[in-house]
Structure 1
Amino acid sequence: MRLIDEIKEKAKKNPQNIVLAEGEDERTIRASIIALNEGIAIPVMVGDKQKIMAIADPLGISLDGIEIIDPKSSPNIDRYSEIYMESRGDRRITKGMAEKLLRRTLYYSAMMVTAGDAKGMVAGCTSLTATVVVASQLMIGLREGISSPSSFFIMSVPDCPYGENGNFIYADAGVNPDPTPQELAEIAIASAQSAIDLGWQPRIAMLSFSTKGSANHKRVDKVIEATKIAKEMAPDLMIDGEFQLDSAIVPQVAERKVKEPSDVAGRANILIFPDLDAGNISYKITQYLAKAEAYGPLLQGFNKPVNDLSRGASVDDIVGVIAFTSVQAQKA
């Protein structure tokens, strides 16, 4: 069974209310119907209802059973404004300022999650990743111990014996351009939770162009320091490095290159890249040259489930992210 089908089956066991922040996009409309009909989530669309219906009606799409909320006329604005103002604790923020912000679809949708009116949020098919991250950080906030959000991709590589039966988590491949050792350690730990959400036992490799001291460079030093910090922060997790990619995922290579005991070498299912150049290039190479399925950038480090989409996302891509968000929400 394909990984995405496994995720959908998990979602169907207890479908969650997932808010779709870009309800005025045709792909979102189509994906919401599929998610509802397949039973993987209870979708809520946010946007101008007249505009949404004007898109759906000519396509013959019935939106029966799907709640549509327009922030401009929502009765929840007053309650949401109070929640936002209390969470910020800044007297300079007036109620009028809070209401103005919350009438924007991304911010309203994120506040729905914080207020408990939705269990998770999906956005990004018409918004920049940075915009989704800012709205989520402002309204939902970060988990304790996390100083900045990050992203990951679920990569499913056909006919691949490595990783988690050919499946991997790549992080960070969408948010942090040049993470510090501390941030890299936090990305590793957040990625472990994402793997647990998938039902995996995390085996985290901190990647570099060096394997256990085979090269000397300040970029290698960053990964070594990040590995040390991550192990101190989460001593119960299987985290190791620094590894070159082959040492991380290929058992035969790990046997030759890694001369010390390691629970991760040759067995990694989570690959932590040293910077966004490496992560972003790697996921695209894997997607196009290995014909892998790529789901993301999915977000991590937030208090509640929130996930991003590529602006080039297909309807099937959106459905897959809705399913994963629903699975995350089951455990939130």
Structure 2
Amino acid sequence: MGVLDQIYEKAKVNPQRVAFPEAANEKMMQAAYETGKEGFIRPILVGDAAELNALCKERGYETEVFTIVDIQEETYRQRLIADYVALPGTLLKERAVGRRMENPLYFAMVMQAVGEADVTFAGIDNTTGDVLIAGQTIIGLQPGISTVSSIGLCDIPGFEGSEGTLLAVGDSAVCTNPSAGQLADIAVSACDTVKSLLDWEPRCAMISYSTLGSGQSELVDKVVEALHIAQEKRPDLKIDGEFQLDAAIKPEVAAKKVLRESEVAGKANVLIWPDLNVGNTAVKLIQTFGHADAYGPMLQGFNKVVCDCSRGAPVSEIKGNIVISAVRAAGNK
């Protein structure tokens, strides 16, 4: 059974409520319908109820698979606003929330913030920037985290790592040139994401061209500083470095290069790239030459699970990311 099959099985055991603010989009509605019909999620379509009902009928979908939420239904809208502004730490007032909720993306996130949905799934009609701004405004960031980032899961044929053929990597999509503090946030968030999705004990390696001082430059210094910040923030996590890639994942190389005790060296299951140049290139190398399947990117750092999918993604890929998001939400609970 492949990794995605395992995730699908986990989703079926505990289906989560996924809100779709781009529900009228044909691909999004199809993906929501199929994952709902197959029992992986409980899909919530958010928008103009009359339009959504008409589209369901036109496309041949059984409306009972969905919960359809009309953003113009005033009683429900006012209850959501009241519940949202009553949340501790909420900065927005009633009128500010109400204005934003005219947009289905913000309406869905308010539903999620007050516990009426478990995931907000968007990204086809909204840009990544739209999703990130809405998420930071309405959902907010996890305590101690100030950076939104991403993580991907690679299934690499022929790779024999500590988790078989699987390796989690980040950030390969969001943070261009993270500072040491941001890099620490990415590492901490990645460990939490992996734990909620796969039940792994994260062993997180901070990747560099240097292993424990074998190279010296400001590029290495940033990774070392990030490591110290991450370890101080979350001493409960196994985060170590700075390691070259082979020292992080190959025990025989770690035995030669890492001449001290390490719970990560040689057996890392999470890799943190120093910047997006490295991360984006590394993932494409893994896919092109390693013939790997790469799932994600999964946004992380928010208080709750928010997903931004690729605009060009086929329905099959959208479905996979919906199910992954739902399993993350269940794991976070």
Q: What TM-score results when the alignment is normalised by the length of structure 1?
A: 0.92
Question: Whole-Å Cα distance in 1 between the matches of residues 125 and 290 of structure 2?
Answer: 27
Question: Whole-Å Cα distance in 2 between the matches of residues 264 and 163 of structure 1?
Answer: 10
Question: Whole-Å Cα distance in 1 between the matches of residues 328 and 90 of structure 2?
Answer: 29
For 1:177, the equivalent position in structure 2 comes to 176
Superposed displacement of residue 98, structure 1: 2.5
Superposed displacement of residue 94, structure 1: 6.0
For 2:77, the equivalent position in structure 1 comes to 77
* Letter in structure 2 aligned against 1:218: E
Cα contact 1:296–1:308 (8 A) shared by 2: no
Question: Whole-Å Cα distance in 1 between the matches of residues 32 and 206 of structure 2?
Answer: 37
Question: Whole-Å Cα distance in 2 between the matches of residues 51 and 14 of structure 1?
Answer: 30
Return 155-164 or 242-251, whichever deviates more.
155-164
Cα contact 2:84–2:114 (8 A) shared by 1: no
Which string of whole-angstrom CA distances, capped at 9 and with x for unpartnered residues, describes residues 169-225 of structure 1? 211122221211111111111111111111111010101111111111101100011
Question: Whole-Å Cα distance in 2 between the matches of residues 61 and 86 of structure 1?
Answer: 37
Question: Whole-Å Cα distance in 2 between the matches of residues 50 and 280 of structure 1?
Answer: 42
For 2:103, the equivalent position in structure 1 comes to 104
1:290 aligns with 2:290: yes
Which string of whole-angstrom CA distances, capped at 9 and with x for unpartnered residues, describes residues 91-132 of structure 1? xx6644422211111111111111111112211133222211
Is the alpha carbon distance of 1:64 and 1:298 closer, same or farther for their aligned partners in structure 2, counting shifts above 3 Å?
Answer: same
Paired residue secondary structure (2:219): helix
Root-mean-square deviation (CA), in Å? Answer: 2.0
Question: Whole-Å Cα distance in 1 between the matches of residues 39 and 93 of structure 2?
Answer: 41
For 1:309, the equivalent position in structure 2 comes to 309
Superposed displacement of residue 15, structure 1: 0.9
Question: Whole-Å Cα distance in 1 between the matches of residues 176 and 274 of structure 2?
Answer: 9
Cα contact 2:205–2:271 (8 A) shared by 1: yes
For 1:152, the equivalent position in structure 2 comes to 151
Superposed displacement of residue 290, structure 1: 2.2
For 2:37, the equivalent position in structure 1 comes to 37
Question: Whole-Å Cα distance in 2 between the matches of residues 244 and 19 of structure 1?
Answer: 41
Is the alpha carbon distance of 1:4 and 1:74 closer, same or farther for their aligned partners in structure 2, counting shifts above 3 Å?
Answer: farther
* Letter in structure 2 aligned against 1:187: I
Is the alpha carbon distance of 1:292 and 1:265 closer, same or farther for their aligned partners in structure 2, counting shifts above 3 Å?
Answer: same
Question: Whole-Å Cα distance in 1 between the matches of residues 125 and 323 of structure 2?
Answer: 19
Question: Whole-Å Cα distance in 2 between the matches of residues 158 and 125 of structure 1?
Answer: 30
For 1:161, the equivalent position in structure 2 comes to 160
Question: Whole-Å Cα distance in 1 between the matches of residues 311 and 42 of structure 2?
Answer: 23
Cα contact 1:205–1:265 (8 A) shared by 2: yes
Q: Gaps spanning 5+ residues in structure 1: where?
A: none
Paired residue secondary structure (1:204): strand
For 2:137, the equivalent position in structure 1 comes to 138
Cα contact 2:43–2:65 (8 A) shared by 1: no
Superposed, which structure 2 residues align to 1:1-332 within 5 Å?
1-53=1-53, 55-73=55-73, 75-85=75-85, 95-197=94-196, 198-331=198-331, 332=333
Cα contact 2:37–2:65 (8 A) shared by 1: no
Return 295-304 or 285-294, whichever deviates more.
285-294
Question: Whole-Å Cα distance in 1 between the matches of residues 264 and 243 of structure 2?
Answer: 10
Which string of whole-angstrom CA distances, capped at 9 and with x for unpartnered residues, describes residues 214-273 of structure 1? 111101100011111111222222111111111111222222222222111111111111
Question: Whole-Å Cα distance in 2 between the matches of residues 254 and 126 of structure 1?
Answer: 46
Cα contact 1:287–1:293 (8 A) shared by 2: yes
Question: Whole-Å Cα distance in 1 between the matches of residues 48 and 294 of structure 2?
Answer: 31
Which string of whole-angstrom CA distances, capped at 9 and with x for unpartnered residues, describes residues 271-305 of structure 1? 11111222222223323332222222211121112
Question: Whole-Å Cα distance in 1 between the matches of residues 95 and 46 of structure 2?
Answer: 21
Q: Gaps spanning 5+ residues in structure 2: where?
A: none
Superposed displacement of residue 7, structure 1: 0.7
Paired residue secondary structure (1:75): helix
Cα contact 1:129–1:175 (8 A) shared by 2: no
Return 281-290 or 35-44, whichever deviates more.
281-290
Question: Whole-Å Cα distance in 1 between the matches of residues 292 and 141 of structure 2?
Answer: 30
Question: Whole-Å Cα distance in 2 between the matches of residues 168 and 57 of structure 1?
Answer: 42
Question: Whole-Å Cα distance in 2 between the matches of residues 217 and 249 of structure 1?
Answer: 23
Cα contact 1:122–1:306 (8 A) shared by 2: yes
Question: Whole-Å Cα distance in 1 between the matches of residues 249 and 151 of structure 2?
Answer: 18
Identity %: 39
